[in-house]
Amino acid sequence: MGMMKTEAPLDEKAIIAAAEKALADIAVVRGEVSKVIFGQESVVENTLLAVLSGGHALLVGVPGLAKTKLVTTLGEVLGLASNRIQFTPDLMPSDILGSEVMDQDESGRRSFRFVKGPVFAQLLMADEINRASPRTQSALLQSMQEYHITVAGHRYDLPVPFHVLATQNPLEQEGTYPLPEAQLDRFLLQVDVHYPELAAERQILLETTGLSETKPQAVLNAERLVEIQTLVRQMPVSDKVVDAILALVRSARPGQGNTSTDKNVAWGPGPRAGQAMMLCARARALYEGRLAPSIDDVHALAEPVLQHRMALTFAARAEGMSVRDVIDGLVKQAKG
């Protein structure tokens, strides 16, 4: 989760002033994205929250729901250098990371030169990530976790900021390799993309089948985004909100005294879930125009933060339960 430099904490006035400036910037980003992506407010919100919190997001949905378009739009609006990789079963780690090539100079001396792969971007779109082999998935995992790669014993740092927005098709198709739990945990949020509402779909038909389409404008740049990410980490979180995060995350683990969890959950979220919640709750407050996170933020983020970090027991799956049902139940209990 690291990567941010630790800076001297700002005083309260400075944080409020910086947060108010960030609120204005984020509002402009929202407006610009909505010119191109119709409806899907919660998808846009959660994907942006992952980026504002300095993390990676996994977008899960059937093909054709504008997942790729959302990522390219965010790259343009946030002013980030972006690359896209279409994952396929024959994709090799070097296709992502880059490879060593042999050069020969005039005198005939030979030497190796590293040619950077598409992972050297500020925003990397990993399309249909579950189609690549585990070996290739793990090459991306190191970049996501450590913000550098190692090729032939040499370390190469990735650009700052570095975000992976991956898409995944939920259909159990032939030729997919489900992401291992350790890799799923590296994604700050899992964002489910559903079919559009009727009004939004009507707008899509009218706006995207004419001669010209609206193009989004860049309203931030990489430096400004890093400033906002640093601010998110400096925002104070009240003890009440911290307690709510701990209570929710711990209630999703079997063996912690929650009877429905003990019955239905095989394994629950680790500490990374709480870290994700701390960051995203602050970012969500800013996104919604507030200067401090609330318990409502924690409850709203329960699904995208927890759903890819826990698994149900065989009995619960046999009864037709989903992880989402369990999380909904935990949030209802928390609300009392």
- Calculate Rg over the CA atoms of the chain: 21
3-state secondary structure 294-335: CHHHHHHHHHHHHCCCCEECHHHHHCCCCHHHHHHHHHHHHH
Q: Is 97 helix (H, G, I), strand (E, B) or coil?
A: helix
Alpha-carbon distance values, 169 to 68, 176, 178, 306 (Å): 12, 9, 10, 19
Task: Output DSSP code: residue 64.
Answer: T
Q: pLDDT per position in the chain (336 positions), as tens?
A: 555 555 555 577 888 888 888 988 999 999 898 888 887 888 999 999 999 999 999 999 887 777 888 888 999 999 999 999 999 889 998 899 998 888 888 887 888 888 899 999 999 999 988 888 888 888 888 889 899 988 888 899 999 999 999 998 876 666 678 888 878 889 999 999 888 788 888 888 887 777 777 788 899 999 999 999 999 998 889 999 999 999 999 999 998 888 888 889 999 999 999 999 999 999 999 998 888 999 999 999 999 999 999 999 999 999 989 999 999 999 998 887
**For residue 289, is it left (φ>0), alpha (ψ between -120 and 50) or beta?**
left
* Angle subtended by helix axes 222-234 and 12-34, to nearest 10: 130
DSSP β-ladder status, 189-192 and 148-151:
unpaired
Distance (Å, whole) CA 265 – CA 262: 6
Q: Which residues contact 267 (CB under 8 A, 6 or more apart)?
A: 253, 254, 310, 311
The whole-angstrom separation of Cα 63 and Cα 260 is 34
Residue 80's pLDDT is what?
93
Q: Dihedral angle at the C-alpha atoms of 298, 299, 303, 304, nearest 10 degrees?
A: -30
What are the angstrom distances between the C-alpha of 91 and each of 86, 137, 140, 152, 203?
A: 9, 10, 12, 19, 37
Dihedrals phi, psi of 184, to nearest 5 degrees: -60, -40
Q: How many CA atoms lie within 13 A of 183 on its CB side?
A: 19
70 sits in which H/E element: helix 67-77
